[in-house]
Chain A
Amino acid sequence: MASITTNTPPPPAAPAPALRRKSTGRAGDKVFLGLSRGSGILLLVLMASIAIFLSVRAGMAISKDEGNFLTTFDWDPAAQKPVFGIAVLLFGTVVSSIIAMVIAVPIAVGIALFISHYAPRKLAAPLAYVVDLLAAVPSIIYGIWGALVLVPYLEGLNSWLDEYLGWTYVFEKTEVGVARSLFTVGILLAIMILPIVTSVSREVFLQVPRMNEEAALALGATRWEVIRMSVLPFGRSGIISASMLGLGRALGETMAVATVLSPSYLISLHLLNPGGGTFAQNIAAKFDEANQLGRDALIASGLVLFVLTLLVNGAARLIIARRKEYSGANA
């Protein structure tokens, strides 16, 4: 069928460009191109409509807000005079994600180096696989593990930090209570973003030109010197974008934070004290009791979260895009 139709066009069409235009002009091709391009466009439309719809509802909520949406601490849209603001949520989200980054990035780079340069050859592939499995564990399971196993375990560490590093103010524990704090959330988030940071960094490290490493080795460099002189400089942008991808994950994590944190609408730099909140956690916690305005208010806070993750992820992708060869999207 198809071959018969294709055999007919060439004779009349003499120049090459004309031939090519004819051969894609068939109905089947048009339909297929239309379908595939259409689904691509649908994806863009989807992104746009997420932004638009969230903005519309958020606008409706913010116009009824009696307080300042950006600087108010409280979250009380059900009151006579509805008052809600994202100050606490923004603080908690950023702080817990930064703690997660500070813990996770060095360790993830270490693991990536371990897999790419230190592990015995036979072990490297299975180890990479184990790290990927860590990424497959659903966040709600991290959540209940964090709340029921990690929190009691961290009690000792917390009192130790309080005793010896309490003078830093940040690690001073002024309230008695279990370790359901932003610090614990940060540790849990660190565990959760380890796999993605690791796998993107690992991909980059594996792409370091072999010649660079061998040249360094031939000059008598130790393994660490090889890594410092040829691997890390080459992989710097990769590490940065990997960390930003991890940051994007940490910012939007819902269940793990909702299970571990005991929320309060206070901003405190005493990271070990229970309390605080994040965007996603607040939505999860407040949704059940929310009325119409309450839901719109939550949508407004979700919009801020959306923009935040969009910026972080977009920046990470732009950095990655400069080197086409690797991308962590399938991680």
Chain B
Amino acid sequence: MSNAVVQDTRPPASAPRKGSLSRRGLPRWAGAAFGAAGIALGCGIGLVFGLDSKVQWGLISAILFVLISYVATSVVENKRQAKDRVATSLVWVCFILALVPLVSLLWTTIKRGSKALSGDFLSHSMNGVTGFEPGGGVYHALIGTLEQVGIATVISAPLGLLTAVYLVEYGKGALAKAVTFFVDVMTGIPSIVAGLFILTLMLMFELKPSGFMGSLALSILMMPVVVRSTEEMLKLVPNELREASLALGVPKWRTILKVVLPTAIGGITTGVMLAIARIAGETAPIMLLVFGSQLINTNPFDGAQSSLPFYIWEQYRVGSDASYDRGWAAALVLIAFVMILNLVARGIARWKAPKTGR
């Protein structure tokens, strides 16, 4: 019954429109055109009213873009299409909005960082250089970062790997569930809290600040990240491989060492490198535990050290032009370090991806 009714009413409803299939619609490039119009109008308004802030120009353009899309589409097409168009344009605006800070940040760092960056900058410490005069460099901070991050990796990579192996290969029951949950929660520990924890140990056992204390805090931050990424990778290893090995009579621990880990090694390496990239930029624990130093100290177990992020913070606090230049240059070094680690890590992931991955 109802079918018949529907079929009866439909043709008259669509009949007034010319040609049943060719509804009036905007061309495909309409979205881009609206965008261009919005930006042009936004800039025009900004110029005419003499608005100083480029942020306002951008916001006005974005709002105009969305409005134009809505009005044009609801006139030419219909309300539903107009809503769809608005959603599309909003999503585009969101995306561009997110790109602005990233581009600005990278651009500023490169532009202002390249001013003070030189061979001297990389190979000298701040020994004898006061904050207000130009000169000096990051050599001591580079050494500090490399040593602290290295020690943190040596501590947390094996622990994280073993924990992940436990969770994937052995873990059943309450313990495994608890570990999984707390690993997840631990990824969210603020770095300053990790620093404070090591600080309480330092106060209780009357230890001196040193690079090693900093690495302990860093390894607390690094471990859960390594566990999570390794876990994901081990889960990707097909069960057939394990079964085949076990069926040949290989003990489980050898299966894990010789079959499971080698299969997932690419992903595991990637995970560890991403974790390194993440802790290399941590400032707060270093500030509490390593104290910072202007001199070259190659011994991470004795005496204050510096580190790249801490160096940036120090230079920012001095607040002179020369120190800002140094700060930006160090930021450029740090960002390059982190980005290169990231790129290489993801390269390895792609190159060594397990065959099951798409």
Contacts and interface: CB of A to CB of B under 8 A. Distances in A.
A284 B288 CA distance: 8
B55 A157 contact: yes
A310 B86 CA distance: 39
Interface in A32-46: 32-33, 35-44, 46
B102 to A, nearest CB: 5
Contacts of A248: 188
A329 B204 CA distance: 33
Contacts of B281: 137-141
Contacts of A24: 252
A113 to B, nearest CB: 5
B29 interface: no
Contacts of B179: 40-41, 43-44
A208 B214 CA distance: 43
Given A149-B104, A222-B83, A54 B200 contact: yes
Contacts of B93: 110
Interface stretch (B4-12, B131-139, B298-306, B323-331): B323-331
Interface stretch (B32-40, B146-154, B163-171): B163-171
B200 A118 contact: no
A280 interface: yes
A309 interface: yes
B111 to A, nearest CB: 11
Interface stretch (A62-70, A80-88, A128-136, A262-270): A128-136
Contact of B108 (A31, A37, A145, A299): A145
B249 interface: yes
A136 B108 contact: no
Q: Contact size class for A?
A: 35 or more
A30 to B, nearest CB: 9
Contacts of A54: 193, 196-197, 200
The CB with the most chain B CB atoms within 10 A, among A56, A132, A144, A156, is that of A144
Contacts of A37: 166, 170, 175
Given A40-B171, A136-B339, A223 B88 contact: yes
Interface string B72-92: 000000001101101110111
A240 interface: no
The CB with the most chain B CB atoms within 10 A, among A133, A254, A321, is that of A254
Given A145-B104, A153-B53, A309-B188, A28 B251 contact: yes
A156 B287 contact: no
Nearest to B279: A138
Given A40-B167, A194-B98, A138 B327 contact: no
A166 interface: no
A191 B141 CA distance: 27
A133 B288 CA distance: 27
Interface string B89-133: 011111101110110110011000000000000000000000000
B335 A138 contact: yes
Given A6-B250, A283-B192, A330-B229, A223 B313 contact: no
Given A36-B165, A329-B228, A118 B92 contact: yes
A28 B254 contact: yes
Contacts of B91: 110-111, 113-114, 118
Contact of B334 (A6, A138, A143): A138
Contact of B248 (A3, A43, A140, A148): A3
Contacts of A150: 101
Contacts of B94: 106-107, 109-111, 114
B220 A252 contact: no
Contact of A41 (B175, B184, B324): B175
Interface in B225-244: 225, 227-229, 232
B182 A43 contact: yes
A170 to B, nearest CB: 19
A156 B183 CA distance: 43
Given A28-B251, A141-B334, A154-B55, A39 B159 contact: yes
B284 A284 contact: yes
Contact of A36 (B104, B162, B186, B280): B162
A295 B200 CA distance: 9
A309 B162 contact: no
B166 A224 contact: no
Interface string B182-214: 111111111111101101110110000000000
A244 to B, nearest CB: 9
Given A114-B91, A314-B185, A253 B190 contact: yes
A150 B104 CA distance: 9
A317 B185 contact: yes
Nearest to A222: B84
B176 A40 contact: yes
B283 interface: yes
A255 B284 contact: yes
Nearest to B99: A130
A32 B253 contact: yes
B28 interface: no
Contacts of B189: 50, 252, 306, 309
The CB with the most chain A CB atoms within 10 A, among B227, B312, B335, is that of B312
B166 A141 contact: no
A276 B259 CA distance: 56
A144 B182 contact: no
B56 A157 contact: yes
A117 to B, nearest CB: 8
Given A37-B166, A140-B313, A313-B184, A6 B249 contact: yes
A208 B338 CA distance: 33
A72 interface: no
Contact of A302 (B105, B196, B253, B335): B196
29 contacts: A3-B248, A6-B249, A36-B169, A37-B166, A39-B166, A40-B167, A44-B178, A50-B193, A54-B200, A57-B200, A109-B94, A133-B102, A136-B277, A137-B335, A137-B338, A138-B334, A148-B108, A153-B53, A223-B87, A254-B191, A255-B284, A255-B309, A283-B284, A314-B185, A317-B185, A327-B228, A329-B183, A329-B184, A330-B229
Given A29-B253, A118-B92, A136-B277, 7 more contacts: A23-B251, A37-B170, A106-B94, A137-B105, A249-B188, A252-B189, A299-B196
* The 5 nearest A-B residue pairs measured at CB: A252-B190, A138-B281, A156-B53, A110-B94, A6-B249
